[in-house]
Structure 1
Amino acid sequence: MAARMNILFSVNAAWNIWNFRRPLVEALIADGHKVTILAPRDDSAPRLEALGCAVRHLEMDVKGLNPLQDFKLLMRLRQHFRELRPDAVLSFTIKNNIFGAIAAKSEKIAFIPNVTGLGTAFLSRGILEMVAVTLYKRAFRNLPVIFFQNEDDRSLFVERGLVAVDQARCLPGSGIDLDRFAAAPYPLEHGAPVFLMIARLLRDKGVLEYVDAARRLKSVHSQARFQILGATDAENRTAIDRATVEGWEREGVIEYLGTVEDVRPMIEKAHCVVLPSYREGAPRTLIEAAAMARPLISTDVPGCRAVVDDGITGFLCEVRSAESLAAACESFIALSHEARVALGCAGRQKMENEFAQSIVVDAYRRALQDLARKTTDVAA
């Protein structure tokens, strides 16, 4: 275990830490470290404080691309780092990674980012991509460790010269609590198949393709049900508004389930969980569903294909193609009850072998031990 350290988490929403990084926070506190969360304060803040960590509000424009606002964020991060003087900053989400790394370097503070996704700017094939690449290259140069959520993203950064091979380490997403997301009995053999998509309602998540595929399939399989669970009107440029969703409901294409604190009951009732995303870091909803022994359908893109073994734990389809997604759903409908159960069991086994949260916690512990060792060597 590393010597006791003052550790700062930096992220664009406190709920991100509560939902995805809580086991890491709990482990570091149990190890005796002081933990502070630097993020825009929301309803998750009191729960994080109850774990034993401090929460400091970070003012930031989460979705904007205004250079002036981003410069102000850089200055705010620098000021917070200067005041808190952490031994290490563990950072997540794009702006916190890029501007946090630059701010930490100016304050000579160790900084460990986790590339949870690349964002539309990095993949835009235009001026925004050039800016993003330049910023990443400057921000990540000479950092001790950079975590990636899938091998595709890690390889992309290495190939483009944004990080060195010895900097880049791959994690299985955020890991999964295999006890909390335990394998659930599969729904009874009889009854209409229930497809469930869990995601923020963003175009980049493939929501439009999912709705179009549902429309195609319901013309043939009228009893099939297509559900969507997730927030509308999100703080994102590709968000889908509530009025659009209400239109789909009136059409009878989808069932909108809103949002819930605990997704497990919804996953348990589903026959198959679907995520036709354009690209992911590590899709949490697919990982949770596989852990609960549910078959998956997703796109053959970075992040998603790391979770879904085509034909073994579910099916992969072409990205941005409602036709291909509908064909994958058709293939699932044609399966026997026993074959569907087998897909789910294989997914659960994959999560046990590759995605346990202990793998992620141990990787961060090793990174902090390395930092502490280097600090000791320098001091000596």
Structure 2
Amino acid sequence: MQKLIRITTVPSSLRTLLKGQSRFMSNHFEVIGVSGDGDALAEVRQNEGIKTHVVEMTRTITPFKDLKATYELYKIFKAEKPFIVHTHTPKAGTLGMLAAKLARVPHRLHTIAGLPLLETAGNKRTLLDAVEKFTYACATKILPNSFGLKKIIIDNKYTKPKKLLVIGNGSSNGIDTMHYDTRLISEEKKEALKQELGITKKDLVYIFIGRVVKDKGINELVNAFNTLSKREINCKLILVGPSENHLDPLLPETETLIKENRRILAVGMQKDIRPYVAISHVLTFPSYREGFPNVVLQCSCMNLPCIVSNINGCNEVIENEVNGLIITVKDEISLENAMQFMIDFPEKREAMIRHARCKITKRYEQTYVWNELLNYYKSLN
């Protein structure tokens, strides 16, 4: 059986972003996972039933550590002799594609699920642009996970259009529509969580899920909600996800508002987001940049209208005033107005709910995405 090696920078990406996919591909390839060490990698071995290798990679520019990781990847490729190396996340992509090219792996695929460099400028942007082009040059195929991202790559001239391929309708892993179903969360569980968080029947609950960082639009979201909550007594905002102040810090005044506004409920990282989605009414996701946002798929699948930025990925899932609202990027007033809209027009919000889940099941069902990727793997020779 031919070998397929999947690589991510940190093991949580291998565990969460590609959940179930490695086990599915194991029916057709000998799948090997490579990532940094940790409990998440142990979970991958157990849940996906695949062999794994540990290679520590950093998420910042660290030349000596990067060279060491590249050499370790090269040694793995020479020993395993894979037919395909498929990388995800920026650092794993750069190091994995270089090592795979040096090891003469025949098929070197890199999935683009977002471009953090779009939010940089000056010398750092010049450097990151060069790294991006280098990564693409080492790959045999680049797989943007949205059509908007494909256009951005072409516009920035990172590679030639013929080297790009979007799998299916976009998304790296699709969505398990049977898992993300509000019917799986009992009324008892929902009531207990509401009581724990101090949410009443009168409250309209907004939710954000993701890294609580600047690039996700958290400064704008917290400010917009803070202003809204002064006018509207019955509203809450749940923030689900880890902060990464060492990588992308929030403004100090945003941190203060999160602590001081008692209607902002920061619950941190949650292994199962579904109970929190089930007690919410609207997803607020004002991100600056995305590849293809899983959280918009997940919340839509659980019947939430979504307020999203007018960026690639988000505007491919959400149709304005059909299954959500599309707002201007980095525009606090646009966001506040959209949140107010959801309060002022409950009948329009209800109509959006009716369109939310069906759009996802038609286009992004997990097995469809997996089979589309498998068909591409099988086309390689």
TM-score (norm 1): 0.89
In 2, Cα distance between equivalents of 1:158 and 1:252: 45
**Alpha-carbon distance, 1:345 to partner:** 2.4
Aligned to 1:129: 125
Letter of the 1:154 counterpart:
K
Q: Name the SS of the counterpart of 2:231 in structure 1.
A: coil
**Alpha-carbon distance, 1:340 to partner:** 2.0
Task: Select which of 210, 223, 226 maps to 2:234.
Answer: 223
Contact 1:195/1:274 (<8 A) preserved:
yes
Aligned to 2:77: 81
Aligned to 1:319: 329
Contact 2:101/2:138 (<8 A) preserved:
no
Task: Select which of 17, 25, 28 maps to 1:28.
Answer: 25
Matched, 1:170 2:166: yes
**Alpha-carbon distance, 1:244 to partner:** 6.7
Q: Name the SS of the counterpart of 1:169 in structure 2.
A: coil
Letter of the 1:356 counterpart:
E
Aligned to 1:304: 314
Q: Name the SS of the counterpart of 1:111 in structure 2.
A: strand
**Alpha-carbon distance, 1:210 to partner:** 0.9
Matched, 1:343 2:317: no
Q: Name the SS of the counterpart of 1:44 in structure 2.
A: helix
Task: Select which of 315, 333, 340 maps to 1:330.
Answer: 340
Contact 1:212/1:322 (<8 A) preserved:
yes
Contact 1:214/1:253 (<8 A) preserved:
no
Matched, 1:204 2:215: yes
Aligned to 2:63: 67
Unaligned stretches of 5+ in structure 1? 375-380
In 1, Cα distance between equivalents of 2:250 and 2:369: 33
1:143-154 aligned at under 5 Å gives the runs 143-154=139-150
**Alpha-carbon distance, 1:137 to partner:** 2.3
Q: Name the SS of the counterpart of 2:53 in structure 1.
A: strand
In the superposition, relative to structure 1, how do residues 232 and 136 fare at CA in structure 2: closer, same or farther (>3 Å)?
closer
In the superposition, relative to structure 1, how do residues 138 and 249 fare at CA in structure 2: closer, same or farther (>3 Å)?
closer
Matched, 1:182 2:181: yes
In the superposition, relative to structure 1, how do residues 239 and 289 fare at CA in structure 2: closer, same or farther (>3 Å)?
same
User: Aligned residue pairs: how many?
Assistant: 364
In 2, Cα distance between equivalents of 1:149 and 1:74: 25
Letter of the 1:30 counterpart:
N
Aligned to 2:99: 103
Q: For residues 2-52 of structure 1, what are the alpha-carbon distances to aligned partners after superposition, in whole Å with 9 as ceiling and x for unaligned?
A: xx3211111011111221212211211133x21111101222222211231
Letter of the 1:231 counterpart:
P
**Alpha-carbon distance, 1:245 to partner:** 4.6
Contact 2:219/2:254 (<8 A) preserved:
no
Q: For residues 302-357 of structure 1, what are the alpha-carbon distances to aligned partners after superposition, in whole Å with 9 as ceiling and x for unaligned?
A: 22212211111111111112211101101111122x43232122121210122111
Q: For residues 75-116 of structure 1, what are the alpha-carbon distances to aligned partners after superposition, in whole Å with 9 as ceiling and x for unaligned?
A: 332233223322211110011112211211111112111001
Task: Select which of 43, 47, 56 maps to 1:47.
Answer: 43
Contact 1:91/1:112 (<8 A) preserved:
yes
In the superposition, relative to structure 1, how do residues 241 and 214 fare at CA in structure 2: closer, same or farther (>3 Å)?
closer
Aligned to 1:18: 15
Q: Name the SS of the counterpart of 1:147 in structure 2.
A: strand
In 1, Cα distance between equivalents of 2:125 and 2:376: 30
Aligned-residue identity in percent: 20
In 1, Cα distance between equivalents of 2:262 and 2:216: 21
TM-score (norm 2): 0.88
Q: Name the SS of the counterpart of 2:148 in structure 1.
A: helix
Task: Tell me the C-alpha RMSD between the 2 structures.
Answer: 2.5
**Alpha-carbon distance, 1:246 to partner:** 6.9
